[in-house]
Structure 1
């Protein structure tokens, strides 16, 4: 059963990796600009879910174009398959799998334009909190909803303090993202919350140092934190789920 569950989750992840490309293209704009509604070919780019391919001329657009969208599909398949392997058949798995596409889009947009749109960070935080509340009512859930809410407050509050102390080092979007990720990590307790938070900061620090050592970015330049916060949260959720399974 575990093998079937992992396979189904991986297939779902692969499809999500492809179908989120249009949203990533439309949302990856500079602050103050409206969401993209036109493809580079000049035809309309409507809708939010789907491959980044023009429905009129067939031209690919968006992240990585004109290369085929296999890389995001592989990555999201690994993410979802790993969650299924760690969590097993538990109610919270559905919450994690629903959150993955939003995380993929947020990571991609932040990597491109250093921006975490409210249209995704706020629904992610609210959705994770509410869905975990529903999951906690189903027999077999391995976490705690009150801990999840406290985790969101703790991580979001921690990042708010960091933002106020050093606003040039991160954006307010990171604070709102941290609230949603904190809910997910707090579900399994304080230790996974700490692991996930530290893992995200460590990954971001290592990445930034490598870029500065290789002089790909000037010293003092900011880097997008979103992808690393999301990767750290994934690692923390995996650790918490494996610990819950015993």
Structure 2
């Protein structure tokens, strides 16, 4: 747990429901399901390269989504590991094919833009947390490799799905405007939905 996470925990402790989801077995099943589905899709479409790169990202972000849904926290070790893997893959790809340097630069710029914009949103009273800011940067680093449109699509789908979910909770009175909401799972879902189209 990072220093900022310790500080956040000292200020606010979420009500953890269904903590069993964070056990090693449910998390392993979740990661296996995400990676298994992606591996099947990659073999079916002949996109083995992008799929191999995406497998650890899918596993790490899938686990991060469940942690945010249950405990309203996006662990730094998961987001950091996903970023480190993506950067390592980018370095290897550029070393093997220098022409891919433009794609790598675009991915870094998308990560910076996503982080900067989401930070501005987080500074306003929107409910977006710093964990979401880091998550947006990771999504930019991942989907930005395939193009700006893939990056925008992933975030747009995540925001739209999150907005619909928030509206449904308000209408059903299962939550009020003052209740915190985990945006991470929706942003991750959006990136998962955009990636197959981007990698084709």
Bin the TM-score by the shorter chain: 0.7 to 0.9
**Alignment correspondent of 1:211:** 169
- Name the structure with the higher helix share: 2
**Alignment correspondent of 1:31:** 9
**Alignment correspondent of 2:90:** 132
1:223 aligns with 2:184: no
CA RMSD in angstroms comes to: 3.0
**Alignment correspondent of 1:10:** none
Q: What is the aligned counterpart of 1:160 among 102, 116, 119? A: 119
Residue 135 of structure 1: how far off its partner (Å)? 2.6
Structure 1 stretches of 4+ moved >6 Å: 67-71
Residue 83 of structure 1: how far off its partner (Å)? 5.1
Where in structure 2 are there 5+ consecutive unaligned residues?
1-7, 11-18
TM-score, with normalisation over the residues of structure 1? 0.64
Relative distance call for 1:136 and 1:231 in structure 2 (3 A) is: farther
Aligned residues: 182
Q: Which has the greater radius of gyration?
A: 1
Deviation by residue 1:5-41 (Cα, 9 ceiling, x = unmatched): xxxxxxxxxxxxxxxxxxxxxxxxx925xxxxxxxxx
Residue 62 of structure 1: how far off its partner (Å)? 2.6
Alpha-carbon distance between aligned partners in 2 of 1:230 and 1:154, rounded to the nearest angstrom: 17
Where in structure 1 are there 5+ consecutive unaligned residues?
1-29, 33-60
Deviation by residue 1:155-212 (Cα, 9 ceiling, x = unmatched): 111111111123x511101111111111111001111111111011011111111111
